[in-house]
Every structure is written in C-alpha cells, then in structure tokens.
C-alpha cells in the first residue's frame, strides 16, 4: 500500500467483523512496528496480547470511570482530561453520566486487544523536572503504537490507540501483573474493521504551522 494513502486513511476503528486476527498475522504486524524510533533507541515497549474474555471484561470495567469523566466534561463544553483547566464538573455529575458504549465495547468485541506498556527504567524523560505534565516519555512509545496501526492498515486490519483505562493504572497493573517500573501507554483493540474510512477530519496545515515563532504567519 502507498505510504501517503496509508497515512491519510489510518483511522480509529472501534467496530470489527468476526474475522480473526491470528497470532501469526499479529506477529507480522509487530515485526513491522518494531522499526519505530525511540529515545536513544532504547525500545522500551512491551506488548501484552489479550484474548481472554475475563481480562477484556476487566479492561472494559477499568475504562468506565475515565470514560464517564470524559463524556461529562465534553457535555459541559470542556476539553476532557486536560491538565491546564481544572474540571468544572463535580464528582456526582461524573458518577451519573452514562459512558458512551463506543468507548468501552471495542475491548470486548475486537478479536485481540494489545496492552502497550513502557519500561520506565529505559526511557529517557527529559521533561521530568518541568512543572507540567510529562510528554517526552510517551514520545518513545507512541511512534511504535502508531506503526502497529499503519502495519495493520497495510494488511486490512485496524484499531484504536485508547488511554482511558490508564486512569486506573494501579488496577491495570494488578490485573496484568505489571512490575512497578512499567507504565501502560495504550490499550489497543485490533481487528478487521467493519468499514474503512477514507476522509479523516483534520485541520489544515495553515491552522497549526507558523513561521519562526508562536503566532507567526501561517505556513501556507
Ligand atoms: C493518545 C491518544 C489517546 C486516545 N484515547 C482514546 C480512548 O481512550 N478511547 C477512544 O475510543 N479513542 C481514543 N483515541 C482515538 C482518538 O479519539 C482518535 O484518534 C481521533 O478521534 C481521530 O479519529 P479518526 O482517526 O478516526 O479520525 C486516542 C487517540 C490518541 C492518539
């Protein structure tokens, strides 16, 4: 498949056909994804391949609290889970919010779910002393996660990078037996998508690229 085409059409699939995604096909996808870059080429990713139904049900349950807050904030006109503006919805409102099933069901229904972890013992986190949420550690893992989706796309499969369950990371760690120095970067349902999107909604370059400094003229 043409690279430009793959980049333009690799969407977030949340609905899957009954087709299996066998271990051999998954290993082939991961065999491409492993060429992703990482800080110092440390390759701190680890992948847990989940097919067990009880584990998926636990993953779905762990997704729910963060999904409720996400929807409650969204309904309130906020950017959910951002670290700059404190949430303006209270705990009671979050508690009675119905989480969208499309945020929860994919881990139950996809033929396979990958839990993509990062070994914090090997990842360089150069923003660790800054007074803001860390972003650099993730940068050593998400190119790998994205490569999984690109390799899946080339083979007719698809999935979604999801992160809501990570809000419950201590319980996730218990569920999966993760050591304390390992963090969860994403939970990724993968399978054969029911439909293939071809026109993804994205802002044009002129809206996010500016010349020389913040607020500079847009790159046309
Ligand atoms: C870091 C990250 C976290 C995300 N978390 C979730 C999530 O928890 N649940 C979910 O359903 N989608 C999640 N997504 C998928 C986004 O919603 C999706 O990429 C975006 O809406 C664009 O969708 P599209 O590619 O189908 O156009 C996440 C994506 C990224 C990159």
Q: How far is the CA of 11 from the centre of ligand 1 (A)?
A: 9
What is residue 175's predicted lDDT score, i.e. its pLDDT?
A: 98
Pick the closest to residue 49 from 156, 191, 215, 207 (CA basis). 191
Kindly give, in sequence order, each residue whose CB lies less than 8 Å from that of residue 53, ignoring residues fewer than 6 positions away: none
Rounded Cα distance between 65 and 69, Å, is 7
Domain ranges of the chain: 3-207
pTM, to two decimals: 0.97
Give the number of C-alpha atoms closer than 13 A to the C-alpha of residue 192, restricted to the C-beta side.
8
Q: Name the residue with the closest Cα to ligand 1, atom 6.
A: 162
Gap between the Cα atoms of 12 and 162, Å rounded: 9
Q: What is the pLDDT along the chain (220 residues), one digit of tens a residue?
A: 999 999 999 999 999 999 999 999 999 999 999 999 999 999 999 999 999 999 999 999 999 999 999 999 999 999 999 999 999 999 999 999 999 999 999 999 999 999 999 999 999 999 999 999 999 999 999 999 999 999 999 999 999 999 999 999 999 999 999 999 999 999 999 999 999 999 999 999 999 999 999 999 999 8
Which pLDDT score, from 0 to 100, does residue 143 have?
98
Q: Domain 3-207 belongs to what topology?
A: NADH Oxidase (3.40.109)
The confidence score (pLDDT) of residue 220 equals 83
Q: Which residues line ligand 1 (CB under 6 A)?
A: 11-12, 103, 160-164, 200-201
Backbone angles phi, psi at 117, to 5 degrees: -110, 165
């Amino acid at each position: 498949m043409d690279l430009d085409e793959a980049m333009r059409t690799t969407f977030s699939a949340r609905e899957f056909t009954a087709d299996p995604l066998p271990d051999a096909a998954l290993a082939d996808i991961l065999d491409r994804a492993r060429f992703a870059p990482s800080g110092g080429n440390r390759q701190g990713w680890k992948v847990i391949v989940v097919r067990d139904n009880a584990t998926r049900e636990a993953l779905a349950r762990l997704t729910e609290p963060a999904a409720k807050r996400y929807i409650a904030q969204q309904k309130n006109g906020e950017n959910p889970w951002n670290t700059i503006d404190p949430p303006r919805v209270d705990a009671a409102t979050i508690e009675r919010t119905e989480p969208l099933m499309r945020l929860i069901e994919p881990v139950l229904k996809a033929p396979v779910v990958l839990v993509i972890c990062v070994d914090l013992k090997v990842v360089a986190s150069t923003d660790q002393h800054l007074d803001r949420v860390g972003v650099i550690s993730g940068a050593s893992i998400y190119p790998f996660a994205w490569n999984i989706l690109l390799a899946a796309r080339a083979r007719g499969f698809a999935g979604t990078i999801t992160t809501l369950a990570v809000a419950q990371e201590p319980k996730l760690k218990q569920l999966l037996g993760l050591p304390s120095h390992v963090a969860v970067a994403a939970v990724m349902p993968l399978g054969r998508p029911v439909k293939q999107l071809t026109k993804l909604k994205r802002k044009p370059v002129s809206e996010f690229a500016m010349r020389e400094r913040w607020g500079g003229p847009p790159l046309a």
